Structure 1
Amino acid sequence: GGGRRMGAEELGRVVEVASSLGMRRVKLTGGEPLLREDLEEVVREVAEHAEEVSLVTNGVGLEGRAGALAGAGLRRVNVSLDTLDPEKYARLTGVRALDKVVRGIEAALDAGLVPVKLNMLLLRGVNEEEVEGMVEFARERGAKLQLLELIRLPWDPPRIYEAFHLDLSGVEGWLRERGKEVGRRGEQNARRVYRVDGVEVEVVRPMHNSEFCLHCTRLRLTHDGYLKPCLMRRDNLVDLLTPLREGREEEVRRAFELAVERREPFFRGPS
């Protein structure tokens, strides 16, 4: 498509500017990045200017492309996998593709896109009974597991959060019982890491965790060329694409500075 969709070469130029300002790691996420036919080219352009390029994907299209993506410079992948039950997978996603996703995970491991991390979003009454099975699945394949708490985005209907939100304290209790806490992860230091049956399990609970926001160093770039200082907001975006396409390099740099200036914690601690 035309319009504001950014091409691979444009994305490479953005990352080049960002790396000159100290950015080291790039994560390609979505939507679903594998829907881009030129994803290998995007990876190649971006990898020239970043120390690590990783991908977050539903894994459906990964099997046939893992090798080429690794060859283009992709370092590792996170694959969303909320259940190992084919019927439940079809209900949650609308596609019968669990076997494809599993083959995609195995292709990523074979291609050396390691560590492969499995992102499991925990949903009350849906999959909280499957944590143990997912730990075992990860162990058999040498993958890592991330357990994600459902977050309520301001623009989502509240009923989804109310129906499915699961407090992860109970799951963390089980992890401590079965394994042990081995550290904290991330610049936020807000994510606890456990080792259970030889598997590294990370628990991601950003909601109402002021540490998570306070130490956040991430900036998002939308598919249509806006910098987004905060995952939880849509009202403070910075247009990067216009100066980029007009060749105004100094304004592109300024856009990054402006986005950082607009950053403020969404979840604040008690003042």
Structure 2
Amino acid sequence: MQTRMLADRYGRVATDLRVSLTDRCNLRCTYCMPAEGLDWLPSKSTLTDDEVVRLVRIGVELLGVREVRFTGGEPLLRRGLTDIVRRTKAVDPAVEVSITTNALGLARTAHALAAAGLDRVNVSLDTVRRDTFTQITRRDRLADVLGGLAAAEEAGVAPVKVNAVLMRGVNDDQAPELLQWAVAEGYALRFIEQMPLDAQHGWSRADMVTADEIVERLSAQFTLTPAAEPRGSAPAELFLVDGGPATVGIIASVTRPFCGDCDRVRLTADGQVRNCLFARDESDLRAALRAGATDAEIADRWVVAMSGKLPGHGIDDPTFLQPDRPMSAIGG
């Protein structure tokens, strides 16, 4: 079977597929969505399990995809997640399969997901203080998240990665505390600059805690030295913590963008290709699926969608416009 590439005009090739399984979430993080939630996609608009697996298979078998990450919203809310993971792994066992989750339901699903072939888990967690967690997420569920993390490690889904966003005046003073906790627990912590992907369109550069500030806060308590291994297409710049072996990563999506090395492509829960997280245009694969298109025809559409990828996300451009869809609808 001949494999094509999801290449753009700037020489980048997408091999990392992010698939949103739902736009729904059981948290209400202040930097993501309003307290009352959002208008969710109607179920008939969302890809079925069979449609998700078919698109993943086309990506893997025809278009060179080597990593698949299931996101949301919150992917653990998708009833068929375990079966989707199992069927994805069956397409090609060498493909790395992971999820990005808030871990609320991970304590009861981690072992089943591991048995289905899940390789890795990324957990979004911005604080280990109960009061701050409740303030950020509007839910008193920190204990459930910590239980989910422990269950993932016990199930052998390792390394467990933790993604944290710092917010000025909320948890930006807790960076060293988070890192100390992660090192003690054996989790790989990654700090991410807050990006303009909130549903409220309230993001401002002035309020964002920058990568330089994160390094400064951590360096007050730890000695950070750049890790020897090259970053490649990975978004995180890695630092050894107090000489290692523990590391901490900083993802400077805004102040030090890595668009030139991007190898990612996204599918929304309703079957739209997004060639960039910040793209304002989407390409509809769901309509082709439901109209009876062949695998090759769908692959052709996908290739065309990727060819139009812009050179960068353009956040620093005065004409930058935030995507209409928030992160919860796009998928991480």
TM-score, structure 1 as length reference: 0.90
SS in 2 for 1:114: coil
CA RMSD, Structure 1 to Structure 2 (Å): 2.2
| Pairing 1:110-149 to 2, within 5 Å after superposition | 110-149=154-193
| Pairing 1:40-79 to 2, within 5 Å after superposition | 40-50=82-92, 51-79=95-123
* Greater Cα shift, 261-270 or 118-127: 261-270
How far did 1:171 drift? 2.1
How far did 1:120 drift? 0.7
Q: Do 2:238 and 2:250's aligned partners in 1 also have CA atoms closer than 8 Å?
A: yes
Cα distance change of structure 1 residues 116 and 185 upon mapping to structure 2, 3 Å threshold: farther
TM-score, structure 2 as length reference: 0.75
Partner of 1:253: 299
Q: Do 1:32 and 1:57's aligned partners in 2 also have CA atoms closer than 8 Å?
A: yes
Identity across the alignment (%): 32
* Greater Cα shift, 13-22 or 54-63: 13-22
Partner of 1:227: 273
Cα distance change of structure 1 residues 98 and 189 upon mapping to structure 2, 3 Å threshold: closer
Letter in 2 for 1:68: A
| Pairing 1:94-113 to 2, within 5 Å after superposition | 94-113=138-157
For residues 200-244 of structure 1, the C-alpha deviation after alignment (integer angstroms, 9 at most, x for no partner) is: 10100111535x11221111000001111111123x211111222
For residues 21-51 of structure 1, the C-alpha deviation after alignment (integer angstroms, 9 at most, x for no partner) is: 1110011111100111111011112222351
Partner of 2:213: 170
SS in 1 for 2:59: helix
How far did 1:155 drift? 6.8
Q: Do 1:209 and 1:268's aligned partners in 2 also have CA atoms closer than 8 Å?
A: no
Cα distance change of structure 1 residues 90 and 34 upon mapping to structure 2, 3 Å threshold: same
Highest relative contact order (Cα 8 Å, sep 6+), 1 or 2?
Answer: 2
Q: Do 2:125 and 2:164's aligned partners in 1 also have CA atoms closer than 8 Å?
A: yes
Structure 1 unpaired stretches of 5+: none
Letter in 2 for 1:230: C
SS in 2 for 1:118: strand
> Are 1:153 and 2:197 matched, yes or no?
yes
For residues 88 and 14 of structure 1, the distance between their equivalents in structure 2, rounded to whole angstroms, comes to: 39
Among 192, 196, 202, the alignment partner of 2:249 is 202
Cα distance change of structure 1 residues 228 and 185 upon mapping to structure 2, 3 Å threshold: farther
For residues 189 and 40 of structure 1, the distance between their equivalents in structure 2, rounded to whole angstroms, comes to: 26
Structure 2 unpaired stretches of 5+: 1-41, 318-332
Q: Do 1:8 and 1:45's aligned partners in 2 also have CA atoms closer than 8 Å?
A: no
Cα distance change of structure 1 residues 205 and 156 upon mapping to structure 2, 3 Å threshold: farther
For residues 162 and 66 of structure 1, the distance between their equivalents in structure 2, rounded to whole angstroms, comes to: 37
